[in-house]
Chain A
């Protein structure tokens, strides 16, 4: 158990809809990262938050947004969903102090299916 909790585990929705994925980081971890894994693809970095602030962005679509709350949990919002958004969405957390070299610890992901 990595200590990172993601909900829900599975989500099925229709095109055009909006969903929210939730992540609770490990206790004490200040950084939260979101990744997308499409079929047979590697993990694509979407966005990083550190202590409530957005710090790094990857290839995140404008239809997607995220935030990290004061209690450090994070939410990834996906809107105007398209079939191609079907993927596994992973959240990861780390202590990330300065230029720390600690690993990221991943949750078990949310599987999103857009029909």
Chain B
């Protein structure tokens, strides 16, 4: 059962334009969401997060939007740069109990930014 879904395996965007990566989740108990970026031969790198009590969080060129009613979040990258080309993972935290949790990941979207 895939609780976190990234339905677009790949996305190609021109440099300078906006990249929009989407993520859907099914578990309404998720209360914290994160985006990670992954380059080949490296581990995932934390990019930006959002708590379920917010609907938007911004950090420089990166903005994450959360629509709880739709169980949907998106990552906007503006403007896109060639160095942004990577695989982007959406993740949701399922809080279990004090000091106990797990992060559930989507399958990733490969973003390619071309000149």
Contact = CB atoms under 8 A, between A and B. Distances in A.
Contacts of A40: 107
B42 A98 contact: no
Contacts of B44: 43, 90, 106
Contacts of A30: 99
B43 interface: yes
B46 interface: yes
Interface string B18-52: 00000000000000101010000111111001010
Contact of B103 (A2, A45, A50, A51): A45
B43 A107 contact: yes
A96 to B, nearest CB: 6
A109 B18 CA distance: 31
Interface residues of A, number: 32
Given A45-B102, A58-B102, A101-B51, A2 B43 contact: yes
Q: Do most interface residues of chain A lie in helix, strand or loop, or is the interface mixed?
A: loop
Nearest to A44: B105
Contacts of A18: none
Contact of B105 (A42, A101, A107): A42
Nearest to B43: A106
B105 A33 contact: no
B103 A99 contact: no
Nearest to A35: B105
Interface in A61-106: 90, 92, 96-99, 101, 103-106
A58 B107 CA distance: 16
A45 B96 CA distance: 14
A42 B102 contact: no
Interface of B: 4, 6, 32, 34, 36, 41-46, 49, 51, 89, 93, 95-96, 98-108
26 contacts: A4-B43, A31-B99, A33-B103, A41-B107, A42-B6, A42-B106, A42-B107, A43-B44, A43-B89, A43-B105, A45-B103, A48-B102, A50-B99, A50-B100, A55-B100, A56-B102, A92-B43, A98-B98, A101-B51, A101-B93, A103-B34, A103-B49, A105-B46, A106-B36, A106-B43, A108-B42
